[in-house]
Amino acid sequence: MGNKKDIMKKIKSALISVSDKSNLKPLLKALTKNKIELISSGGTFKTIKKLKFKCIEVSEFTGFDEILDGRVKTLHPKIHAGILSKRNNRLHLKQLKKNNFQNIDLVIVNFYPFEKTLKNTKNQNKIIEKIDIGGPTLVRSAAKNYNDVTVITSVNQYQELIEQINRNKGATSLKFREKMSRLAFSETAYYDSVISNYFNLMSSDYFPKKKVIHANLIEKLRYGENPHQESAIYSIKENLKINKIHGKELSYNNYNDIFSALTISKNLPNGIGTVIVKHANPCGVSILKNKIKSYKSALACDPVSAFGGIVSCNFKIDKTLAIELNKVFFEVIIADGFNNDALQLLKLKKNLRIIDASNFQMSEILKINSQDESFLIQFDDKKKFTKKDFKIVSKKKPTRTQLNDLIFAFNICRYVKSNAIVLASNKSTIGIGSGQPSRLDSCQIAINKMSKFNNNEREIVAASDAFFPFLDGIENLVQAGVSAVIQPSGSIRDKEIIKFANETNTILVFSKTRHFRH
Known catalytic residues? Answer: 144, 279
Distance of alpha carbon 368 from alpha carbon 305, whole angstroms: 28
Distance of alpha carbon 58 from alpha carbon 66, whole angstroms: 8
Which amino acid is located at 97 in the chain?
Answer: K
Distance of alpha carbon 431 from alpha carbon 414, whole angstroms: 15
Q: What are the two backbone dihedrals, phi and then psi, of residue 67, each rounded to the nearest 5 degrees?
A: -135, 170
Distance of alpha carbon 297 from alpha carbon 274, whole angstroms: 9
* Spatial CB neighbours of 278, under 8 Å, sequence gap ≥ 6: 257, 305, 306, 308, 309, 310
Going by their DSSP bridges, the two strands 507-511 and 482-488 should be labelled as parallel
* Spatial CB neighbours of 509, under 8 Å, sequence gap ≥ 6: 390, 391, 392, 393, 394, 398, 403, 406, 484, 485, 486, 487
Distance of alpha carbon 265 from alpha carbon 259, whole angstroms: 10
Task: Give the angle subtended at the CA of 117 by the CAs of 114 and 122, to the nearest 5°.
Answer: 125
Distance of alpha carbon 474 from alpha carbon 497, whole angstroms: 8
Cα dihedral 384, 385, 386, 392, rounded to 10, equals: 170
Query: Which DSSP state fits 336?
Result: S
Distances in Å between the alpha carbon of 189 and those of 193, 369, 376? Answer: 6, 22, 22
